[in-house]
């Protein structure tokens, strides 16, 4: 096999002649000039040494030493160094989407272990091998409920993460599903396929829901299940696994999960890995269910999801394996402790916490959100997410210390 070579000018000329144009620019004449990219302002070529120095100079302009109290779905969590060392091995880190039947036993086992851990954390019977993120998991859970109930209306809590709501609205519009948002759950739910609530909700509030006679979808903060009871009364549980060993990375990539009771197994989207034995009696793993349209008839497919977040699932599996049950509980305890400490110290400064029962995230009331956050940013602290002119969503994790909280307070 010959080494790959860039097309020569002669080859380019022959190819252009064959399709009937004079130059490469002629291939783009239908694209308006205003939509095209201008000339790239590139410097003269640099040597490798010069390039390294230039890139390092640019990198120094980045602010990387902020103390973070940001939340809202993406959290600053401690990630053991061994996770990236394993996840970046060539056996796992690949551009190939791991979903085909010929997938390696190692990746299949990771998927199986991931599913097992999610089931143990959520109290559900079945889990799939990841979703894109919590937002798509919420939307897919609603589609599940519609298929199960044969009803096309869904009840959604007003306190659901607004980014999740946007994705749900897109899915609902495409599938002719009516959405109704509620503050207090209506007494009559007979016309609805399901009710979706977030625990804790977007504002950090922890509420218990006694939902009967309708499919109950719970969107959970997976890290909160280290200290909170799982929503075992739910029919479907969804969420994001970013807090499990996945960096924030400016908001992505994330990964989601969806778990449910066994009776809804045939309606779950994505793919499931199963454990069995081969003809020699050795443990073997295989894809048990693949409910997407590439594998089965389109009209029978539960979802058009054509990929999954297997690498992110690997990170989550490694994280839970390394931290263990006690370590996982400890991170949850520390997160809750730091959040409550911050809330208590803010109260002494006259800043009120509006969230009554919270795990590690809560809403505070200030006189001016922009001014409050600007003062914190000036001393390298990301103080939270602005909700409106006087309200801020604040989160704390095990990464925050007493010293961080004192720094937070010193600007007030």
Cα–Cα distance for residue pair 150/139, rounded to 1 Å: 16
**Tokens 């309200």 — which residue?**
391
163-172 pLDDT, tens digit per residue, is 999 999 999 9
104-163 pLDDT, tens digit per residue, is 888 889 999 999 999 999 999 999 988 999 999 999 999 999 999 999 999 999 999 999
Instruction: Write down the pLDDT at residue 117.
Output: 97
First to last CA, the chain: 68
Q: Does residue 270 surpass a pLDDT of 60?
A: yes
Question: How is domain 81-319 classified at the architecture level of CATH?
Answer: 3-Layer(aba) Sandwich (3.40)
Question: How is domain 67-78+325-410 classified at the architecture level of CATH?
Answer: Alpha-Beta Complex (3.90)
Q: What is the mean pLDDT of the chain?
A: 91
User: How much is the average pLDDT of 69-86?
Assistant: 95
User: How much is the average pLDDT of 304-323?
Assistant: 86
Cα–Cα distance for residue pair 361/71, rounded to 1 Å: 7
21-37 pLDDT, tens digit per residue, is 999 889 888 899 888 88
Instruction: Write down the pLDDT at residue 1.
Output: 46
Instruction: Write down the pLDDT at residue 395.
Output: 97
User: Domain locations in the chain?
Assistant: 67-78+325-410, 81-319
φ, ψ of residue 373 to 5 degrees: the values are -70, -35
Kindly report the pTM of this predicted structure.
Answer: 0.86
Cα–Cα distance for residue pair 4/111, rounded to 1 Å: 36
User: Could you tell me which of 312, 241, 306 has the C-alpha nearest to residue 271?
Assistant: 306
């Amino acid at each position: 096999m010959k080494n790959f070579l860039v097309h020569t000018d002669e080859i380019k000329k022959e190819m252009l002649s064959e399709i009937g144009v004079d130059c490469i620019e002629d291939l783009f004449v239908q694209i308006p000039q205003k939509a095209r990219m201008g000339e790239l302002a590139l410097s003269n070529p640099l040597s490798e040494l010069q390039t390294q120095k230039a890139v390092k100079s640019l990198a120094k302009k980045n602010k990387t030493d902020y103390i973070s109290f940001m939340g809202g779905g993406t959290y600053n969590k401690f990630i053991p160094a061994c996770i990236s060392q394993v996840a970046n091995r060539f056996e796992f880190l690949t551009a190939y989407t791991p979903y085909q039947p010929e997938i390696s036993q190692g990746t299949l086992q990771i998927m199986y272990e991931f599913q097992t851990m999610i089931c143990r954390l959520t109290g559900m019977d079945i889990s799939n091998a990841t979703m894109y993120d919590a937002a798509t998991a919420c939307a897919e859970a609603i589609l599940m409920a519609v298929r199960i109930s044969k009803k096309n209306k869904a009840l959604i809590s007003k306190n659901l993460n607004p980014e999740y709501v946007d994705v749900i609205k897109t899915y609902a519009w495409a599938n002719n599903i009516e959405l109704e948002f509620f503050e207090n759950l209506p007494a009559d739910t007979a016309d609805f396929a399901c009710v979706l609530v977030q625990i804790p909700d977007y504002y950090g509030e922890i509420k218990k829901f006694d939902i009967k006679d309708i499919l109950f979808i719970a969107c959970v903060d997976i890290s909160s299940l280290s200290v909170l009871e799982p929503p075992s009364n739910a029919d479907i549980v969804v969420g994001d696994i970013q807090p499990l060993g996945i960096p924030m990375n400016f908001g992505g990539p994330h990964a989601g999960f969806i778990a449910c009771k066994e009776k809804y197994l045939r309606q779950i989207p994505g793919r499931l890995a199963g454990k069995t034995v081969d003809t020699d009696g050795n443990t073997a793993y295989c894809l048990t269910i693949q409910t997407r349209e590439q594998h089965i008839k389109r009209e029978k497919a539960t979802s058009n999801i054509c990929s999954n977040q297997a690498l992110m699932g690997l990170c989550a599996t490694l994280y839970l394996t390394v931290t263990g049950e006690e370590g996982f509980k400890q991170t949850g305890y520390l997160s809750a402790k730091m959040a409550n400490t911050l809330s208590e110290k803010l109260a002494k400064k006259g800043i009120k916490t509006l969230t009554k029962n919270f795990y590690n995230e809560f809403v505070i009331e200030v006189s001016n959100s922009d001014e409050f956050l600007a003062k914190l940013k000036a001393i390298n602290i990301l103080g939270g997410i602005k909700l409106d002119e006087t309200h801020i969503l604040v989160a704390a994790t095990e990464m925050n210390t007493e010293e961080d909280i004192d720094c937070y307070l010193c600007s007030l």
